[in-house]
Every structure is written in C-alpha cells, then in structure tokens.
Amino acid sequence: MPSPLPLVTWTDYDAVLFDLDGVVTPTAEVHMRAWSEMFNGFLADPDAPGGGDRSPYTDQDYFDHVDGKPRYDGVRDFLASRGIELPEGSADDAPEALTVTGLGNRKNDAFNAVLERDGVKAYPGSVLLLDHLRDLGLPLAVVSSSQNAPSVLEAAGLSDRFRTVVSGAVAEELGLPGKPAPDTFVHAAHEVGAAVDRSVVLEDAVSGVRAGAAGGFALVIGVDRGAGEQVLTDAGADLVVSDLAALVEDGGQDQ
C-alpha cells in the first residue's frame, strides 16, 4: 500500500478540482505519443518551413513546453523553443497545413485515433480517491486544457463523478486564458459553489501546478507522473504524491 505520510484532511475543504490527463486517467501517455508522432514527423520533413533546430522531439520537450497547456499554446511554445517560425493559421486549418493550428489539429487527430482504438481506464488510485471524496460529499470538478476531456471521461466511465468539466473548449468559449494562468481553476471553483481559498487543486503538469499556486488555492497537490517531485515543488506544489491512493490513507482522519 502507498505510504500514509502525505495525509490530507479532506473535510477541511469545500471542493476538489482535478486535472484530467495524468491525474485521473493515463491519457497523458496517449497525449505524449500523439505529440511525439506529430512533432517528429514535422521536424523530419525536409520540405517543412520555419528554419530552426530540427533535432528530434523528446519526452523532455513535452514536460518543458507542452504538458498541461492548451493545444495551440503547446505547439507555439515548442516551436519557439526551437526557433521555428510558422504562420498562426486558423482553427479550421487542415491537419496537413504547416501552421501552428494545422499542427495542433494534426496532433488532435492522432490523439482521437488512439483513444478510439485503445480506450482509456482511470488510474486505480485515482478512482479510490474519487470514491472517498464522493462518500464525503465533496463537490468535484475537472479542469483540463484538453478539448477532449468530456469524451475521455465518458470512455473511462467517470462522467457522473464531476459536477462540472472545464475543458479547453469551455475555456475558449468563455475567453479564459489557459494554464499556467489560474482562470480555469477559478472558474471551476465558482461553478461548484466554492471559494478559491477553500478549494484543492490536483495537477501533474508544471503549468497546472503554477496555475494553482498563482490562484491562491487552499492546497495544490502535485502528482508526479514523470515531471519530477522537485520540479513540481519548485512550481508551487504544497505536496507531491506519485499515486492518489496515498491521499486515501486516512490514518484515522475523516472518520
């Protein structure tokens, strides 16, 4: 069983706000594969415009420039890190278009193909925590940069667990800036009727942890799925765990 060291008295809080990919479901792995396939195909294309550093895209690039951000921001920030300049394009650009939005749409197609083929199953430890919080009656929300958050939750059988889902599509519709800005988390807290300083944020991405820290939330819990405990701590996490099951080891609390 996980160590009971990082205890949280959940009844001290009024709401819990979950990132989705990498926190509730292992879809971060699907995203990582989709980003890698898309970027490495682009970087290896001898006819691709934009100049810059064309060395292969790596998992470290994902954690440094892409993880947790809205899709087009991830494309834009990675290209900037390599000194590659592409036109912005428009949201309806074809996946073949050599624009920021075209590459983002190409990545989205790759993600959806993998999700449809393989499905997704939530982390067992995350389901354990969701069960625990449901028993306590705490309102829960998902706050995800992904446009696909509702379909991922449906595929995982978890749509009924969350009072609201603030996806990338919702953020775009409302004009909310994405992580590391705190706005999407703040909106989710308001949607479930909780004050920011009474709400908990759970995040595996550096950008998401920074969003929680910037928003003045009561507690920001980093979930280390590869970013690194110290990196998440430095980004503003109050507590870092590798599995959410550790947060259910009540040691007599919440009884």
Q: Cα(66)–Cα(88) distance, rounded to whole angstroms? A: 17
Residue 21 annotated to the active site: yes
Using alpha carbons, list the distances in angstroms from residue 111 to 16, 27, 35, 36, 71: 27, 9, 8, 11, 11
With beta carbons less than 8 A apart as the criterion, state whether 122 and 156 touch: yes
Q: 12, 14, 19, 238: which is the annotated catalytic residue?
A: 19
Which element (helix H / strand E) includes 17? Answer: strand 15-18
Q: 12, 14, 21, 118: which is the annotated catalytic residue?
A: 21
Residue 12 annotated to the active site: no
DSSP string, 109-163: HHHHHHHHHH-----HHHHHHHHHHHHHT--EEEE-S-TTHHHHHHHHT-GGG-S
Task: Residue 173: count other Cβ atoms within 10 Å of its Cβ.
Answer: 9
Active-site residue numbers? 19, 21
